[in-house]
Chain A
Amino acid sequence: MISLVYAVIFILLAPVIGGLLSGIDRKVTAHMQGRVGPSIFQPFYDVGKLFEKDPAEVNGTQRFYVISYFVFAVFTGALFFAGGDLLLVVFALTLAEVFLVLGAYAAYSPYSHVGAERELLQVMAYEPIMILSAVGIYMVTGSFAVSDILAYPMLLVILLPGLFLGFLYALTIKLRKSPFDISTSHHAHQEIVKGVTTEFSGPNLGFIEVTHWYELVFLLGFTYLFFAANWIVGIIAVIIVFLLELFIDNTNARVKWQLAVKSTWAITLLVAIVNLAVLACVVVV
């Protein structure tokens, strides 16, 4: 069931792949904006530099939250790639996220405080679709275990088109892309102060950046699940989804949080009811 090997491979390779994807992200984004952009290795240089910086923090508890955020985000991805239980993966992801939020709260700074509240709003917005995606996948494959889901012979996206769309919608939030980069954005489009990460600097910020790479790889892995039956289709789909997210990021202005939460919920509700109801009928028949 659980394969420790894949977990270890994830832990070792995810930052490399995630960092490179971040670099590609910046390059593509730059081209979309008519700039040349940095080298695709730039994220590694940036993070390297962050770790060299003199550590400075607002208070002594911040490090604990950052490390916990890092550990549980890595744990989430490792559990996923090891073939673990999809629901547990979603819950572990929330746990990691809560640690980041608590770190932002602990700083007692107006900007990071607002960032923390908004991050929680985002969690509240995307959690239903994450759970329901897992539930939909279970209804089709009869298992929550990622290892079993991968063995399912049919493209899941054909049976779960609604949930996949809902997942894509929420993915924009998770990747911190416009129009839903309301707590902090990965690329600075319009803000001067970086929301939930305002009060993190130096190595702490470096950790958060690396954590983001891990999350990126995990989320693309989740996307791959919908196409797992055919790995070529799967990889192409993941690339398209990634480029699509970049496109959305660069063609949309940030919206207010109200719209972000409401629209995500509305779409989740719609696709979940329709998709799951159809599935339930199919299962009964």
Chain B
Amino acid sequence: MKNTHSSFRVDVSVQYLLFLILFPLLVALFMPVVRRDTERGWIVKLSALAIGIVTVLALVTLYDKGTVYLGGFDVAPVNLLLFGLEMAMAALLLWYAVKYRHYLALALVAVQTALIIWFEATCSSAADVAYPLFSDSFSLIMALIIGIIGSLICVYSLGYMRHFYEHHPEIPDRTGTFFLIIFVFISAMFGLVFSNSLVWVYFFWEVTTLCSFLLIGYTKTDEAIRNSFTALWMNVLGGVAFIIALIWLAAVPGGMLSLDQVLASGKALILIPAALIGFAGLTKAAQMPFSSWLVGAMVAPTPVSALLHSSTMVKAGVYILVRLAPVYAFTATGLALSMVGAITFLVASGIAISQTNAKRVLAYSTIANLGLVVACAGIGTYEAIWAAILLIIFHAIAKSLLFLSVGTVEHRIRSRDIEDMNGLITRTPKLAAMMVIGIAGMFLAPFGMLISKWAAIQAFINAPFGFVLVIILAFGSALTVFFWAKWMGKLLVVTPDKENIEGAVDKNEWIALVSLAGLTTVTCFIFPIISKILIEPFLLANYGNIARLSQDNILIMMMMLFLIVVLPLSILLPHRKHRQLPPYMGGVVTAPDMHFENALGAKTPLSLGNYYLGGWFGETKLRTAGIYVCGVFIAVMFVTALAGGIVL
């Protein structure tokens, strides 16, 4: 596994890692300097292209090399630099907390800063791990998600932000800052997935917290500021847990501040720090009781939501959980972690039914799907991890597509309410098609998320006490079908007033939308290949076993996909001429534009609304329940970890 020798002879391919971390940072520094839109447009597009290409190059050169470590240089000065940057970030956050008088955030940041200083003062020698960077196939998968989807979102933002300021003239134009933060964010994500040194992981972790805080509060409206602080204090709470875990690990004889050491050590030693880092992962992945920050993050411009939900931020949370999964496997601590995820999946799916705001539906669906990933990570068997990685991949693609299309549609219909999306298939046919592909990708066979859910069911059954998780999953999955299908139905209504309001969609937005829609479909076709060259080697290296779909099932899935692609063509088939009749209105006299005379003789337009079942799935009620139940399971997680992790 450990490729010690090649790491000294610095492999050319390894330099891709450095490029991916440092290049976005470089671009970010340019962003505030560039004043003109066209110049910025070109820089962003070319950089996005470069990042995308290098990600693919890294994949091509590294995918068959197993785990590659990069090190052999003096880490101490770098660690010192990171410490300096952490202090600068802490100062910035403290300044914001004081400025907006948010004392909870202030207190938490102060505690965290104190802990960082303590760590630096007492444990800095342990932090000099030999190989601070590494890459394995899971890192590469994450890098692909960040590099490709993140870049597409950047390109999309070029068009979106221009429209955004046309629609919101009251907000001062800070597009330069916007792209600055976005590129720092992407750089930090690359850093996070390629870091072996936990101190580095922690540093990048904190950078993502800072970036998301700044992006959520970007518009500086009262609501935005309020929600950005919610995100801040929750994530800093996770950060506090993380730094405590680091201090703990540094105290272990010999130090354990790198991922490979942690994973190679026995469970009993590191279950408590793993639980702490798991807790940090839960906050970042917006699991209950910390889900509200991600829902609140919806106030930010749509590309930010897309970025937070699909390729960055929340994915950092589940990334670290999946990394540490072997530690959680077969312990009560892991089971409690799984339960947090599973309950979050169920509750968030339920809440999504009652939401009319499209972005909130997407937010709750993200929280739900991350819950599923967390549940898999807690189980920690090779099958569960296979499911978890598939979930991460498919979710990232379909969800970013959905966010971006909602964003573009929002600029057309001036609303993000699903009820206002009635008949989009006639009003904005191409955009509606994009959304339909995204939604299908989220819940229908044979698309990605369903494959992943299927894998998750298989994994849960074979795990101890897994049947509880399966029951939760079965119910949650039924809820998912309900809210996605009714949204899809709303889009596909053929309304009689066929006014096309699509207009000219910005070219940059189109590039991103079409690429993502293409990816949603193509990944379903090629997922057996992705599984074979990327996921299976990772499973083999870490679990000594691989999971995959049987040949038969792959064949059947392909047949279904083929049918789905071909069936829409059936409209073109020659057929007898069909008479078109107006819908049945119970005998009421109805005009062609679906106005009818009501009981008082007034002309009333027909309007149909979906079921939202607020009485059953109301947000307040369910969220409160979710917070308490998940809170209890988090407590169980820590208690069992302290008790030495009862082995199942």
Contact = CB atoms under 8 A, between A and B. Distances in A.
Chain A partners chain B: yes
Interface of A: 1-2, 54-61, 63-64, 67-68, 71-72, 75, 79, 84-85, 87-88, 91-92, 94-95, 98, 101-102, 104-113, 116-117, 120-121, 123-125, 127-129, 131-132, 135, 138-139, 144, 193, 198-199, 265, 268-269, 272-273, 276-277, 279-280, 284
A61 B585 CA distance: 20
In this complex, the member of B568, B576, B611 whose beta carbon has the largest number of chain A beta carbons within 10 angstroms is B611
B552 A85 contact: yes
Interface of B: 423, 425, 444-446, 450, 454, 457-458, 461, 464-465, 467, 470-471, 473-475, 477-479, 481-482, 485-486, 488-490, 492-496, 550, 552-553, 556-557, 559-560, 563, 567-568, 570-571, 575-586, 594, 606, 608, 610-611
B578 A88 contact: no
Contacts of A107: 494, 583
A59 B478 contact: no
A95 B564 CA distance: 10
A59 B494 contact: yes
Contacts of A68: 567, 570
A47 B523 CA distance: 41
A273 to B, nearest CB: 6
A121 B485 CA distance: 11
A79 to B, nearest CB: 6
Contacts of A123: 478, 481-482, 485
B608 A57 contact: no
A88 B490 CA distance: 27
Given A112-B583, A199-B583, A139 B467 contact: yes
Given A101-B489, A193-B584, A63 B481 contact: no
A224 to B, nearest CB: 21
A88 B445 contact: yes
B454 A91 contact: yes
B499 to A, nearest CB: 15
Contacts of B579: 54-57
A108 B580 contact: no
Nearest to B453: A91
In this complex, the member of A110, A116, A269 whose beta carbon has the largest number of chain B beta carbons within 10 angstroms is A110
B471 A269 contact: yes
B457 A57 contact: no
A70 to B, nearest CB: 10
A135 B570 contact: no
Contacts of B444: 94-95, 98
Contacts of B575: 55, 63
B578 A60 contact: yes
B445 A58 contact: no
Given A61-B492, A85-B556, A131 B457 contact: yes
B578 A111 contact: no
A268 B472 CA distance: 11
A110 B479 contact: no
A280 to B, nearest CB: 5
B571 A57 contact: no
A97 to B, nearest CB: 9
Contacts of B583: 58, 107-112, 199
A91 B488 contact: no
A276 B471 CA distance: 9
A79 B568 CA distance: 22
- Going nearest first, the 3 A-B pairs with the smallest beta carbon separation are A109-B583, A105-B489, A91-B445
B461 A138 contact: yes
A59 B580 contact: yes
Contacts of A135: 457, 461, 467, 470, 474
Given A59-B494, A79-B556, A124 B482 contact: yes
Given A88-B445, A269-B475, 4 more contacts: A61-B425, A72-B563, A94-B445, A120-B481
Contact of B457 (A61, A87, A95): A87
